[in-house]
Amino acid sequence: MTELVAPEPHLSRLNFLFSSDPGLTAALLCIANGERFGAHRQVMGVPEALALLPNSALRAVVAAAPVGTAARSVPGMNLQQFWRYSLETARLARSLAGIVHLNPMVAYTAGLLHAVGTLVIHRSEVDRIHNINVLCGPFDLRRMEFETRLFGFSYAQVSAGLAKRWQLPQVLVEALCYQGNPLDNDAYEPLAAVLNLAIWRARAGEAQLNERELAVTYPGEIGMTLGLDIDTVLQQDPINWKPKSEDE
């Protein structure tokens, strides 16, 4: 985070740095939506937060980031894989949101933060989570079902609880809560459906599903609510908007 000590930090680099880490993103949005800065508006994504907060607040965020920062370790989790998967989901959600005319920045935020509850469960349920890990890995498409059977809740509810604690906008809280079953929400939220499809695509990629497995597992009913078929979802290329260095 040496960019933060520069006399004039480069916003595109700061955006990339914060947007690449679920913990930093959560902490940044928590501060931006707090009483001091967020009393008059809801901040949905990193670019808005960076425009709102002074450098002193950004440095404080880095110094006191919550769960999710890459520097921490989590029992039973391959964090490098987790960060890669979270970024993949975020980029896919952003891409899909653009097709259905939702806010891509908000979708990216939802995708980046959707699985932070996984880290909390792995820390708090070390023994019991091992039983689930034996049956299916952290990115298995059946993961939410197995967690709900054992705990009575899943990482989705934990992620939503964290988002609420961090004072994130309600649309993000609901998208995280209903990411596994968007149609169960009394007030259908398209963002949750976009997130669901992005998660399916990212986890299918992690599992390297074949053509038949993709067809069988595709959440067609959810895709139908957005007007997205399996081919459209599979064709999305998650763009990595990394800023170029000055010497490139």
Task: Give the CATH number, domain containing residue 84.
Answer: 1.10.3210.10
Phi, psi of 175 (to 5 degrees): -65, -40
Cβ–Cβ under 8 Å, residues 195 and 175: yes
Phi, psi of 30 (to 5 degrees): -60, -45
Does residue 57 share a domain with residue 30? yes
Predicted confidence at residue 88, as pLDDT, reads 94
pLDDT per position as a tens digit, 202-234: 999 999 999 999 999 999 999 999 999 999 999
Q: Domain span at residue 25?
A: 2-63
d(CA 30, CA 16): 18
Q: What's the domain count of the chain?
A: 2
Does residue 184 share a domain with residue 110? yes
pLDDT per position as a tens digit, 93-116: 999 999 999 999 999 999 999 999
Percent of the chain with pLDDT over 70: 87
Predicted confidence at residue 245, as pLDDT, reads 46
Question: Which of 63, 94, 111 marks a domain boundary?
Answer: 63
